[in-house]
Amino acid sequence: MINLDAHLDLRPLVNGVQGSSGTPFKQLADFCKDNNQEFYYCCIGVQPYANTSLLFETARSLNVNMIQACDVKNNYSQAKEKIAQFCQPLDVVYLTLCMDVFAQNIAPAVSAPQALGLYSEQVQTLLQDIINMVDLIGFDIAELAPCYDQGCQTARLAAYLLNDVIHLWQEKKQ
């Protein structure tokens, strides 16, 4: 699992039973543990101030590969190498793009906007590189809040990137 997201989404279930947008990867980790399977999760675009110390502790205990947004911005070649190392032993990857990984002025229609998030071109490059590194088993876009999307700015970006991924995926399969 590769997730482009400002947040680790490793929170426990609410009252032990109810999931939320903050719980899916903890649920997956628990499923893997219960079924004696390895848990492979790489979160790219992590914002240090948007995650609690408990989330970072959980991530470390689960051996999550974390790449902070500032690492993508300041040293992309090193970030790309970390992604390649993560992908190397895997046959397939499920890729998810959470729209709050973007800078707030790029994608304002999210529930948790990031002042220092990534830019469109950076995410395009990440998506292209990931698709070139490993076979995708699936792709989704999450955490778009249409009620905050004046002029459909964030939805248009999501649609453009979805189109990009489809074309890159098709090109790779040919």
CATH code assigned at 118: 3.40.800.10
Residue span of the structural domain in which 76 resides: 2-173
82-126 pLDDT, tens digit per residue, is: 999 999 999 999 999 999 999 999 999 998 999 999 999 999 999
Cα–Cα distance measured from residue 129 to residue 4, given in angstroms and rounded to the nearest whole number:
13
What pLDDT score does 109 carry? 96
What pTM was computed for the model?
Answer: 0.94
- The domain tally of the chain equals 1
Q: Which of 14-28, 83-97, 107-121, 138-152 has the lowest mean pLDDT?
A: 14-28
